[in-house]
Structure 1
């Protein structure tokens, strides 16, 4: 992170057209302050290290213009970047002796016409410095937010890795016993040895080519941690502010295990109370679900079904992250490798629930149930939602008013579907066992994709020609016209009714 102290180039000043400055000895030197002065020797009032632009009318040299060379020599020795000479009052033009001296001693020189007040130059420079400061502060806030996100989503390791990248430095965190808790190298730099030296001697490494910042973090009893940064060049104020911010975040992360331990203890107590029936199971469950129920004690179940286990895990991670961004707790229960139950607050709408799935939504089948009191959520209602999700086209969301598959549970319907399942899926499964083909999975993908060869092929990871060949073979084996929409609808019911339930596979 290379953000030096605010400075401007003399060439920038000359480029401000409204000032109408006229260069006589051009320079690309940088300056940090503009100082109007009519003293023959203004060095006493120039701060050491400041590269100044000195503005003068030459009043002190009106009778002695040949002394300009000594004047230039003194300003050059003081680190002056350029001289702005005002004409039209004491001197009608910039004196040749001043031009000659500035050229000889390599210091910038420009003319300020009489109609341009020195105050205009000061105002322009001050305005630009203010804009630079605002940009620097905005950048600092943005970087702090990056570090916050790294700490929240990636923990100590990710925080140090991001800090190392931002500062272009090596970073390490060590405790007073010499244990390295995390570290991040930068190019050839490592902060580990410096951290260990800091613990052993109380001092870090500081040579001409290597610098270190050692920040002692808050104590926890007899233990404390040290945040060490190693870098090639001295760090500026903004970088040091980021170091303090990152060290503060690291401090919170290192103390977090105590909070996690407390939460784990509460979870263990809940498990024992449920096992032994002590203290009332309803009360224990109500306490555990308190953060997900709304003010009426209601929650909203949502079943998410993906094409594969990897997609489901990425979806659950996205939901967890989005809930975390809103300070909400994540409740989820895998039903099988590709299906999971997620519980959200009862006040959430159907689309609001589905939106938590983020960009994965277009590749999921989602069924959102009606808000229900926490103690009325049952396995039967979850299985009904699961059946609805299985029947929902990929990329769609079914809500309480858009699904009505309870009739599928009717015993008569179930018996019919069982017989049809054996006729269709049973025949294909037998064929697959004998030949090693995957016609059963192909049929499931095809009917769920609404007869789209492209979508089904994408889901199975095969070429469309392979998909078309398999579908034709399925039609011959089960002796139906699979291209007929009514036939596909019947087969979809068979597939949905045969969807695996909790604790089963198939």
Structure 2
């Protein structure tokens, strides 16, 4: 930016600051205006050096105070009085009024035409505009070079370096995702950032917040190209941001948005690839699964021994779980297969994986079935047992292991609703006496004599009852499979 000090330093003008004038470099110069009016402020926009010969001010004394006050209120950068015409020197009352009001006062020698001052100021402003443009372009080029990869941190670091600022990327809750980065990271007021994010996150991707507090300026902008922004760029600089710096922040926001979008596309592609690999693995095609995983980013391999974890629940919650699993250490594979979230991990890692997911599983309605430990070529069997375990989960027991299901006996393998339907349809034709006879028959392993003794009836009665049971149910009670089915039906009915 151009200051009054820059203009005073121009050779050949001979501009002289009045005694006791405020710091010249603190007065930003935006233009030069000339007026002989007693009140020129209606024609000022602020930031002007007002030049006057003082025509009509001869004999002024107390009037200077009101005149200077009007100029200062209008935001004038400085007042330049041409001497040698109306006034031979700067009037003491004017000097005192400018000193009291903090307005820069310059003496313009008679030999210096006002037009020369205007031309010199215009040259400075043109040079400053050109320099601003060059700086903005240079900042854009440097930021663009830093954004060549998918990693966001190099771009954040570069922005902090170029602006001598403190920069951070924060989540929607205001918690840092990257940073704060800069020479003085403690200067970024994260409480302020959280407040500003909360204030603009409902306004979409075009929102921006600029706050000045304790001499620092903090800018917060959303990051993203479409949809709901998940990240926000926070930049804090001492003082104010000039146009090149604001342009650099805007450029960084766009480049970060592109990087986030590219990273999201890459992540979606990698998720599809891993999902397909896990689908092949769980179908028993280990070789094809390994080929796909080798092509994926990071090249994760299938563990030699593994457990399959199958999870179901609300899609948003499953996406959160998938994100957690993707950030896990090497050895854990996760992806979506037929609407389920499938994870594969070495047996020793399963406890840690489930512990990391405990909060989500408890609060988000996600259920998980853990299959038996198998060698990689037997992953299909591991997936099947994980599915059986998943079927046996409940709201109070959202995680079940295959071992728990297997130890509970055959009944644990039958889905509850299907089991009740099967028992009801098989046993419906039988009365209480027939059901008691069938249970005794199964309990005594088909010995009709033992059944007769148990029930206190004749053997022929037992034989007739069993024949009627076979007729009503269609079972062949000499067939072991039929006996198993009848036993399951009686046990399920007893539990109900």
Is TM > 0.5 for Structure 1 vs Structure 2? no
Q: What TM-score do the two structures reach when normalised by structure 1?
A: 0.43
Q: Could you state the TM-score of these two structures normalised by the residue count of structure 2?
A: 0.44
